[in-house]
């Protein structure tokens, strides 16, 4: 079987709205490596978009899921509940930032988690307005699209978005938006567009994922916490991509001196199995009436079992420390290229949530052409990379945190060669 044959069938069978970055059809995977249906090996620096932080098929995750398979696969927790759902909620209530009583719900996707966080915030506060940020990504459902701060490809063609959602600019100093600009924009928003006493929640990613791996400055987080406390607004941290050791902490909000009222999670929580969660202040989480939250597959037993194993692996294998080590090595290697590659504009990101941004050499003009050339050269040499950013000029590195040292070293060589090859083909 050839990738090209399946790709042809895909065009006939699958809606074109399901975008695909590669035409590599996976056959099997192990830790940080994938083999396609033609038997070719690839190093995976995408990790299913930060899902398999603990690696493809981590033995402890697989063992836990197999054990659950032998018991039951589905009852719907809202019909016949199960203990491991409760114990996973207890674990998250302990480790999610915030020194206060917490409660948790489980759903299936990150978009569902964000939608439910807004539902909970509205039910708890009795308010309807929500503020999000430009460049943020919170899902492809209708409320998720409304919250997301990027039109293409997420909003285009889908008509009117849900109302009472407002956006403020996210600080990106290299693109001319300072923390002061963001704060001033929020103050103007409160004066011109929405009464702060009508705002239920402010939601943001501590490090923007799809938006380009821009980390929220501490000054912004401090301002948001003070503003939320002043006006009775709930602060929601979208940790769907940043959570579970990716940034060198269990959660990215641990890099800040303030804590959110609600935290959304998914991706890395399940280690490859679908599960998502919202954890927050107990009194806030109890704002919705019984039956108002949940879903048929929410907290599926297999996902719950996987999540327990993921939390064990992160602790036992010290993956937060590992993320800091790998991120430091990657950033050092990228920094070593600056002298030869003037297109490199920035190298950033906490822990192993690292990104490199490219501009046209000597200018402030983003260069998606250079960025795509790097990605293409890497793929030709069997390394899978992801791009991101409002301008499409950022490469984000999201390898499993469990990537073996020899595979990581091999990937670093491919990355360097890909950047140098892009310089010859595009930046010359």
Per-residue pLDDT tens digits for 360-382: 998 999 999 999 999 999 999 99
**Is the domain 72-316 a CATH 3.40.50.2300 member?**
no
Residue 427 has pLDDT above 80, yes or no: no
Average pLDDT over residues 160-174: 94
Q: What is the dotted CATH code of the domain comprising 3-57+318-427?
A: 3.90.1150.10
CB-based contacts of 221: which residues, under 8 Å, 6+ apart? Answer: 206, 256, 257, 258
Average pLDDT over residues 214-227: 97
pLDDT given for residue 54 in this prediction? 98
**Tens digit of each residue's pLDDT (9 = 90 or more) over 17-64:** 898 888 999 999 999 999 999 999 999 999 999 999 999 999 999 999
pLDDT given for residue 286 in this prediction? 98
Residue 174 has pLDDT above 90, yes or no: no
**Tens digit of each residue's pLDDT (9 = 90 or more) over 98-156:** 999 999 999 999 999 999 999 999 999 999 999 999 999 999 999 999 999 988 888 88
Indicate where the chain has its CATH 3.40.640.10 domain(s): 72-316
| Stronger pLDDT, 174 or 235, i.e. the higher one | 235
Question: What integer best gives the mean pLDDT of the chain?
Answer: 96
pLDDT band per the 50, 70, 90 thresholds, residue 428: low
pLDDT given for residue 68 in this prediction? 98
Q: Could you report how far apart the first and last alpha carbons of the chain are, in Å?
A: 39
| CA pair distance 241, 255, nearest whole angstrom | 15
**Tens digit of each residue's pLDDT (9 = 90 or more) over 68-109:** 999 999 999 999 999 999 999 999 999 999 999 999 999 999
**Token pair recorded at residue 89:** 């909620």
Q: In what order do the strands lie in the sheet with 383-384?
A: 26-30, 33-36, 41-44, 383-384
CB-based contacts of 93: which residues, under 8 Å, 6+ apart? Answer: 101, 102, 103, 104, 279
**Tens digit of each residue's pLDDT (9 = 90 or more) over 340-352:** 999 999 999 999 9
Indicate where the chain has its CATH 3.90.1150.10 domain(s): 3-57+318-427
């Amino acid at each position: 079987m050839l990738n090209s044959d399946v790709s042809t069938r895909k065009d006939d069978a699958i809606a074109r709205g399901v975008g695909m970055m590669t035409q590599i059809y996976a056959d099997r995977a192990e830790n940080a490596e994938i083999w396609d249906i033609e038997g070719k090996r690839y190093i995976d620096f995408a990790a299913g978009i930060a899902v398999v932080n603990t690696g493809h098929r981590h033995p402890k995750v697989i063992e836990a899921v197999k054990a659950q398979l032998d018991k039951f696969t589905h009852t719907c927790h809202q019909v016949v509940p199960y203990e491991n759902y409760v114990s996973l909620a207890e674990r998250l209530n302990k480790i999610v930032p915030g020194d206060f009583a917490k409660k948790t719900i489980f759903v299936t996707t990150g978009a569902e988690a964000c939608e439910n966080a807004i539902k909970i915030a509205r039910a708890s506060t009795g308010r309807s307005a929500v503020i999000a940020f430009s460049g943020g990504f919170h899902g492809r459902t209708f409320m998720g699209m409304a919250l997301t701060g990027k039109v293409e490809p997420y909003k285009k063609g889908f008509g009117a978005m849900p109302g009472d959602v407002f956006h403020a600019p996210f600080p990106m100093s290299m693109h001319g938006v300072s923390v002061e600009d963001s704060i001033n924009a929020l103050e103007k928003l409160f004066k011109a567009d929405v009464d702060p006493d009508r705002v239920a929640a402010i939601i943001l990613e501590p490090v923007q994922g799809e938006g380009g791996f821009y980390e929220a400055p501490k000054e912004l987080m401090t301002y948001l916490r003070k503003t939320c406390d002043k006006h009775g607004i709930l602060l929601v941290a979208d940790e769907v991509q940043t959570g579970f050791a990716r940034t060198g902490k269990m959660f990215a909000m641990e890099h800040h001196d303030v804590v959110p009222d609600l935290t959304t999670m998914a991706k890395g929580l399940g280690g490859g199995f679908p599960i998502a969660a919202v954890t927050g202040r107990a009194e806030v989480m109890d704002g919705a009436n019984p039956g108002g939250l949940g879903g048929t597959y929410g907290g599926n037993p297999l996902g719950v079992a996987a999540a327990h194993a993921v939390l064990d692996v992160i602790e036992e294998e010290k993956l937060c420390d590992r993320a800091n080590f790998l991120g430091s090595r990657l950033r050092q290697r990228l920094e070593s290229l600056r002298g030869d590659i003037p297109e490199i504009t920035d190298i950033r990101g906490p822990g192993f949530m690292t990104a490199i941004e490219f501009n046209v050499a000597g200018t402030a003009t983003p260069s998606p052409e250079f960025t795509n050339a790097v990605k293409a050269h890497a793929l030709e040499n069997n390394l899978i990379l992801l791009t991101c950013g409002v301008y499409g000029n950022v490469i984000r590195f999201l390898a499993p945190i469990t990537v073996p040292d020899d595979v990581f070293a091999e990937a670093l060589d491919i990355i360097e060669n890909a950047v140098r090859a892009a310089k010859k083909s595009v930046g010359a």
